[in-house]
Amino acid sequence: MSKVPFTKTQIAELIKKYPTPFYIYEEAGIRQATNDLARSFSWNKGFKQYFAVKATPNPSILEILKEEGSGADCSSLPELLLSKKVGITGENIMFTSNDTPAEEFVKARELGAIINLDDIRHIEFLEKNAGLPELLSFRYNPGTSRKGNAIIGNPAEAKFGMTREQILESYAIARKKGVKRFGLHTMVATSQLQTEYLVMNAKMLFALAHEIREKTGVEFEFINLGGGLGIPYRPEQKAIDIKAISAGVREVYEEAVQKGLMPPVKIFTECGRYITGPYGYLVSTVRHMKETYKKYVGLDACMANLMRPALYGAYHHITVLGKENMPSNNTYDVVGSLCENNDKFAIDRKLPEMEPEDIVVFHDAGAHGHAMGFNYNGKLRSAEFLLSPSGEFKMIRRAETSDDYFATLSF
């Protein structure tokens, strides 16, 4: 669980100019997380992190990440355009999509992105529609040999990636078709807090890389371990130890290289949540207190602003600004105003005594938060602010208005 990096006084000032709800991202934290990851893996020559754009698709965030040496992991045309707009191009883009339309392959090729194919049939499709690049990567799905989790699904039930037989064949085909440089990728689960998770991915991929090399003669330039690093949403959870993860990956890496199973390769990651998740906060004001069969705290935010609790039953810790030291001896459902009963941020949450105008902060909303907002029930998506290391708030996305809501209609 992240620590609120702003005070009630600061927020009260901001609210005078801009009504809640809004998101605040902590620049220093995002830079730090990117650096921690890169430094931990600095033993690997050529290590690169590609930020999963879908987690926080804001150009100001991407610019910060770019400054810290991060690439962009994209999976749609708007995400490619967003990366291009902030100057992330060429092999600083990893294009990992599925069920991909031709125009997205064309744009990815135009930008010189690394293309990571999800399916064996996409080789021919890519060749026909955009031409085959010099460098190509494929996504592996380990099937029943790995477990996955609820969100990304059991790998054998997941729509992503190729079987072992297919990926072997894919490299052989690509090589025959003149592809010269190769990468290998997997993404098995999300929100993993165990050190072993990424180490297991590495071990699995290094073994697979060896087999592919033996059978097809392909030499790998990079191996992309995927993302999926979790963050401690709950107070009792511990943050993952990125140094321990890196040390674990290094051990299996050096063993594979020393045994001659593979020559040195670049290690890539595509973390999203780990980079921005803990450094984003949804700030909301209590609008209405209600007591019927239960006690309700009604906010000016709703599931249009943060969908994870309704969609996944996800936990987001709540701080009530100025009431941090009061006892949490009241049990509330914290809800939004959407006409849908699953519009609840928290059920039976222990909180201090609440009242209208209290300012509520949702922790760890920096990834898959604003990005998943919808306009159901005419609800509008909120503004986003960046908190600079010097303590200034800069608006990096304005709030939607009714006119935005009506934009695709002609009256």
Task: State the catalytic residues.
Answer: 339
Residues numbered 194 to 233 that lie near a copy of itself (CB under 8 A) are none
Q: Which of 32, 166, 328, 330 binds a copy of itself (CB under 8 A)?
A: 166
Q: Which of 4, 287, 328, 330 binds a copy of itself (CB under 8 A)?
A: 287
Choose the stretch contacting a copy of itself; rule: CB under 8 A; options: 126-134, 158-166, 193-201, 253-261: 158-166
Q: Which of 160, 222, 315, 345 binds a copy of itself (CB under 8 A)?
A: 160
Q: How far is the CB of 71 from a copy of itself (least distance, A)?
A: 16
C-alpha count within 13 angstroms, C-beta hemisphere, residue 79: 24
Nearer to a copy of itself, 265 or 301 (CB): 301
Q: Residue 377 interacts with a copy of itself (CB under 8 A)? A: yes
> How far is 341 from 123, CA to CA, in rounded Å?
45
Strand 280-291 relative to strand 114-117, pairing: unpaired
Choose the stretch contacting a copy of itself; rule: CB under 8 A; options: 206-214, 241-249, 257-265, 288-296: 288-296
Q: Which of 106, 158, 193, 314 binds a copy of itself (CB under 8 A)?
A: 158
C-alpha count within 13 angstroms, C-beta hemisphere, residue 78: 7
Q: 171: closest CA among 128, 208, 125, 226?
A: 208
Q: Residue 373 interacts with a copy of itself (CB under 8 A)? A: yes
Q: Residue 374 interacts with a copy of itself (CB under 8 A)? A: yes
Residues numbered 24 to 53 that lie near a copy of itself (CB under 8 A) are 53
Q: Which of 28, 106, 135, 151 binds a copy of itself (CB under 8 A)?
A: 151
Hey, which bits of 79-162 come out as E strands?
93-96, 114-117, 135-140
Choose the stretch contacting a copy of itself; rule: CB under 8 A; options: 208-216, 244-252, 314-322, 368-376: 368-376
Nearer to a copy of itself, 78 or 327 (CB): 78
Q: Which of 16, 17, 390, 409 binds a copy of itself (CB under 8 A)?
A: 409
DSSP letters spanning 184-239: EEE---SSB--THHHHHHHHHHHHHHHHHHHHH-PPEEEEE----B----STTSPP
In this structure, how many other beta carbons lie within 10 angstroms of the beta carbon of residue 404? Answer: 13
Binding mask 104-143 for a copy of itself (x = CB under 8 A): --------------xx-xx--x---------------x-x
Hey, which bits of 241-328 come out as E strands?
266-269, 280-291, 295-299, 318-320
Q: Which of 30, 65, 82, 130 binds a copy of itself (CB under 8 A)?
A: 82
Burial of 249 (0-12, 13-18, 19+ CB in 10 A): buried
> How far is 153 from 170, CA to CA, in rounded Å?
24
Q: Which residues pair with 223 in a beta bridge?
A: 184, 267
Determine the size of the site formed for a copy of itself (CB under 8 A): 91
Q: Which of 135, 239, 289, 314 binds a copy of itself (CB under 8 A)?
A: 289
Residues numbered 322 to 351 that lie near a copy of itself (CB under 8 A) are 333, 335-337, 339-344
Nearer to a copy of itself, 36 or 400 (CB): 400
> In a 3-state reduction of DSSP, which class is residue 280?
strand
Q: Which of 1, 36, 54, 257 binds a copy of itself (CB under 8 A)?
A: 54
Q: 4: closest CA among 281, 385, 308?
A: 281
> How far is 395 from 383, CA to CA, in rounded Å?
7
Nearer to a copy of itself, 325 or 411 (CB): 411
Residues numbered 299 to 318 that lie near a copy of itself (CB under 8 A) are 299-300, 302, 307, 311
**Buried-state track 47-70, b at ≥16 Cβ within 10 A, e below 16:** bbbbbbbbbbbbbbbbbbbbebeb
